[in-house]
Amino acid sequence: MSALLAVIHRDLLLVFRRKSEVLTALFFFVIVTSLFPLGIGADTVLLRKIAPGVIWVAALLSTMLGLQRMFTTDYADGTLEQMALSPTPLVVLVGGKIAAHWLVSGFPLVLLAPVMGIQFDLDAGTLGVFMLALLIGTPILSLVGAIGAALTLGVRGGGVLLSLLVLPLYVPVLIFGAGAVYANSVGLDVGGHFSLLAALLVLAVFFAPWATTAAVRIAIE
């Protein structure tokens, strides 16, 4: 646990020294979600209908902006090799890097979601469901994205390949996350959507760190 927390602390310190990278993803999320109400106008019925999909797609794309940097710097300076040689299991250290990525790229989106939802005329209950859906769904984006980031380490044009690998895997999260918000807005039960999101999160927590670790070992050997 101490090694896990140390990796999270280290990665957060490195990120805060490069604040522009974090702010770029957050500004992207804010700008994309703000353009739709401006472009569509004051049709509140339409805004409430498209809000779940728009905000979820913006969150998905903004999360992807930081995926390629998750391992690239440590791969270039040899830190990943030192992690692989350390007595601490590499899967624990990789898990710390994934957690740090979510804290920087995913958790801020959960906090910004209510502000963005107000632009789409969402009520307080729907905003609460939105925050809960993002709180469950964004860790899945980081966990699954870490696999793609590890698989494309050292590959020329890895950003494009990363998008092709990861985006299809994000589709279930997008469907169930947006579906929960839409179901709540029309008065339907959201339990099924949250159950499926939670099941995806459990699967990702158990399998994604091991798959990522295997891909990292392949990249550094």
Give 11-59 pLDDT, tens digit per residue. Answer: 888 887 777 777 888 888 889 888 888 888 777 788 888 888 888 898 8
* Alpha-carbon distance values, 92 to 5, 167, 203 (Å): 10, 25, 17
Domain ranges of the chain: 2-220
pLDDT (tens digit, 9 = 90+) per residue, 56-106?
898 888 888 878 788 887 777 777 888 888 888 888 888 888 998 899 888
Q: Tell me phi and psi for residue 190, to 5 degrees.
A: -105, 0
Per-residue pLDDT tens for 193-202? 899 999 999 9
Burial 132-162 (b: 16+ CB within 10 A, else e): bbbbbbbbbbbbbbbbbbbbbbeeeebeeeb
Structure tokens at 45: 């019925």
pTM: 0.89
